[in-house]
Amino acid sequence: MLRRLLPQTARAMAEGGLDGIGWGAHGLSRADWRSWPTDQAAAIEAFLHAWWQDSLTTPESPYGIQDVFETCATIARSVTPFLDGWAQGPVADAHFAHCADHWLYYLVSDSSPFTWWYDDSEDAGVAGLRTWLAGPGAIRLRAHGRPDLAARAELLALPYDERWAHPYWTNPAATN
């Protein structure tokens, strides 16, 4: 059934036509779509990357950018291709700063920023996001004039107790 409805669903996702609760907890995130025929699995993969890239270059996407990221990552069961493929440019950079701020709120406390990732790949997704933000993400934030976000992202490389004992917390405004 999911394969039969996929063309209409993909179009509605891309156009912003899925309203209400449940669009993010997409059925594809629970389906073993990678076991489908090669051309069908490749089409899903291509759609996810195309939708992600289009959302990164759209100033006001129909859905929040962190929601699009989470939907793509949960369907793919990996954050890596979407982080590694994050476009450059003013709109994509603004989206990245927004997402980083959202994610750091959760990650600095060792919580998951994902609201609808339900399978056992969530831990790997959180770990991948944490590692990427502490390294390449922090470098990118600093390069785009976001030193406070970069400093918080770099804290993710520290163990929990060291993270909270870090001097950053005594004067975060100094890094801003």
Q: How far apart are CA 98 and CA 67, in angstroms?
A: 12
Domain assignments of the chain as residue spans, ordered by start: 34-175
- Burial class of residue 62 (count of CB atoms within 10 Å of its CB; 0-12, 13-18, 19+): middle
Quote the tokens at residue 104: 């750091």
User: What is the tens place of the pLDDT at every residue in 78-137?
Assistant: 999 999 999 999 999 999 999 999 999 999 999 999 987 877 788 999 999 999 999 999
Burial 155-169 (b: 16+ CB within 10 A, else e): bbeeeeeebeeeebe
User: What is the tens place of the pLDDT at every residue in 18-44?
Assistant: 665 455 566 777 778 889 899 988 988
pLDDT of residue 2: 56
What is the average pLDDT across 3-21? 63
Report pTM: 0.85
Answer positive or negative: Cα dihedral of 62, 66, 67, 69.
Answer: positive
Distances (CA, A) of 42 to 46, 57, 105, 145: 6, 23, 34, 37
Q: How far apart are CA 87 and CA 106, in angstroms?
A: 24
The answer, yes or no, to whether residue 169 has pLDDT greater than 80, is yes
